[in-house]
Structure 1
Amino acid sequence: MKRKALKKELRAIAGQLQKILLIVDKNKIKDKTISNQDATGEPQESPESRRYIIDNEQLLNNQDACRILQVSKRSLQRYRSSGKLQYYMLGGRTYYKRSDVNQFMREGLSPP
């Protein structure tokens, strides 16, 4: 009898824990969404891209460059391969100087 009551109680506790975890996960998602936006509601730069600075310039990772240029990762790769957009490899990752991305935008995005 004790064993059945204990199992029943454990199942109830497990169910409550699952509900709590779902609530916590939902709150984390909300917090993450809010923290990734500044006061204007625009997404902030990712923390990873703020780590590296070359010649007093911020380096952007692929995701940031895609977002700024409003292109796909594949298009970004084409621009790199064709030499239209200068890039830097650091720790096996690709980065772009903010000024290079801005200059590329000024020159206009033309199809590869």
Structure 2
Amino acid sequence: MYPFRHTARTAVLVAALLGASGLGAAVADAQTPPTSEQDTKFLSQMQGEGITFPSTEQAIGLGHHICTEFGGGATFDSVFTEGREQSDLDDYHVGYVIGGAVAIYCPQFVDELPG
């Protein structure tokens, strides 16, 4: 088990709860409009936590990539490790992005999240 587990777990739970509640209706990135209500929720949730992306497309693509990873049998730890290696985000925010993606795009994988 990784030492980040408690911090990441907290972030995952917060993100999952916010995603499930539908809080945050603002569009997070005016560069390109989101293509669905799910995209709007995901972008808004990330913006509300201060998480930014180079583009709307990259943010949405990351959310779907996380779901694809879980769909392919990845564990939370492996998705988390990839997130830490591929971004400058701290443990809390990596967990937040993962939890938000799962809550909004692929809730069928909520059991894969720590909690």
TM bracket (short chain): under 0.3
- Which has the higher Rg, Structure 1 or Structure 2? 1
Which structure is higher in RCO with an 8 Å CA cutoff and minimum separation 6? 2
Q: TM-score scaled to structure 2, two decimals?
A: 0.25
Question: Which structure has more helix as a fraction of its residues?
Answer: 2
Q: TM-score scaled to structure 1, two decimals?
A: 0.26
Question: Which structure has more strand as a fraction of its residues?
Answer: 1
